[in-house]
Chain A
Amino acid sequence: MSDDSKAATRWREDFPVRWDADHYLTRRELTKFLTLGSGILTCATVALAIAPRDSPNTQYPALLIPSATRLLPGTSLLFRYPTDQDPCILIKTGRGELKAYSQVCTHLSCAVRFDAEGNTIACPCHRGFFAVEDGRPTGGPPTRSLPRVSLETRADGVYAIGMEF
């Protein structure tokens, strides 16, 4: 046997499928494959259903929000809580109530802004709107409420003390 034929034999052993049979797939195999995918999707959905669930209220170390007491009604200021990577917005409503939310839009994570004229929280990226009172979505593509920052007024100022999701 020549060297060429030996090489061809080895090649055949490594790749035993014929070229014309390479794309051959019976409907039965495709049905099996789809049913396997169906099982995987079911497992993933069940895993989500039994996964550990976060508490809706999470406590973090209290953080003083500078200048919060000097905020005028109908204005807002930005701060970061609970870490420096988490932008939040503090709003003083026309009635003088302080409300604070995560500044990350629940749609596609753009930064939301307070719109004093419309008395709403607006996301400029896709025109999403949230209620100032409770952070629920009121218009546009967002379907989830903004996470709320729990506030506590102490003698020396306003503190962020946790998040409500």
Chain B
Amino acid sequence: MQTLQQGTALFTGILVLIGTLVIIQLWLLTAALEAFLARSYHVLIPAAASSAVLFVFNALLLRYVVTFDERIRREGGRPH
């Protein structure tokens, strides 16, 4: 039960973190689009690389969530 409560807080924190990173990625996309239209092409590669890094981080967080959830299911708790 304690693990379940900790998991709820943890999942909420991870959700907020992933949501924040997605918003940053959205900002990166708009900045890249603006730079593309302004023909400031030197901005595009760093923006794409940063976005890819954030995506990998999000994917790792998702993997952690799924693994955690499966462990809770195995232990008979309620999934998140």
Contact = CB atoms under 8 A, between A and B. Distances in A.
Given A27-B80, A31-B62, A49-B44, A38 B32 contact: no
Contacts, number: 94
Q: Which residue among B12, B37, B44, B61 has the maximum number of chain A CB atoms within 10 Å of its CB?
A: B44
B4 interface: no
A98 B29 CA distance: 38
A34 B59 CA distance: 10
Given A38-B58, A42-B55, A51 B36 contact: yes
B1 interface: no
Interface residues of A, number: 27
B6 to A, nearest CB: 14
Q: Which residue among A34, A41, A46, A165 has the maximum number of chain B CB atoms within 10 Å of its CB?
A: A41
Chain B interface helix/strand/loop/mixed: helix
Interface residues of B, number: 37
Chain A interface helix/strand/loop/mixed: helix
Interface of A: 26-28, 30-32, 34-35, 37-39, 41-42, 44-46, 48-49, 51, 53-54, 56, 106, 143-145, 165
